Structure 1
Amino acid sequence: MKDGGKRTGRVGEALRAELAREIRALNDPRVLGVIVSRVEIDPDLARAKIYVRHDLGVAEPSARREILRGLAAASGRLRRDVARRLTLRSMPELHFHYDEALDEQRRIEEILHEIKSEEAQRKPGGSSGAPQS
Structure 2
Amino acid sequence: MPLKGGGTAGQRPFRVGEAVRHVLADLFEKGEVRDPGLGNLPVTVTEVRMDAALRHATVYVFPLGGGDTAPVLAALERARPYLRRRLAAAFPFKRVPELQFRADQSFDEAQHIESLLRDPGVARDLSARKRDADAEDGDGP
TM-score interval for Structure 1 and Structure 2 normalised by the shorter chain: 0.7 to 0.9
Unmatched 5+ residue regions in structure 1?
120-133
Task: Report the Cα distance in structure 1 between the residues aligned to 2:107 and 2:123, rounded to whole angstroms.
Answer: 24
Q: Kindly, what percent of the aligned residue pairs are identical?
A: 34
Match in the other structure for 1:91: 96
Q: Which consecutive aligned stretches of 4+ in structure 1 deviate over 6 angstroms post-superposition?
A: none
Alignment pair present for 1:37 and 2:46 = yes
Match in the other structure for 1:75: 80
Alignment pair present for 1:27 and 2:30 = no
CA change 1:118–1:28 in 2 (3 A) is same
Unmatched 5+ residue regions in structure 2?
3-7, 125-141
Task: Report the Cα distance in structure 2 between the residues aligned to 1:118 and 1:9, rounded to whole angstroms.
Answer: 38
TM-score (norm 1): 0.78
Q: How far is the alpha carbon of 1:116 from its aligned partner?
A: 5.9
Task: Report the Cα distance in structure 2 between the residues aligned to 1:77 and 1:38, rounded to whole angstroms.
Answer: 19
2:120 to 112, 115, 120: 115
Task: Report the Cα distance in structure 2 between the residues aligned to 1:105 and 1:21, rounded to whole angstroms.
Answer: 26
RMSD: 1.8
Match in the other structure for 2:56: 47
Task: Report the Cα distance in structure 2 between the residues aligned to 1:43 and 1:117, rounded to whole angstroms.
Answer: 41
CA contact under 8 A between 1:23 and 1:78: conserved in structure 2?
Answer: no
CA change 1:113–1:79 in 2 (3 A) is same
What is the one-letter code of the residue matched to 1:86?
F
Q: How many residues are paired up?
A: 115
Question: Higher RCO, 1 or 2 (CA under 8 Å, sep at least 6)?
Answer: 1
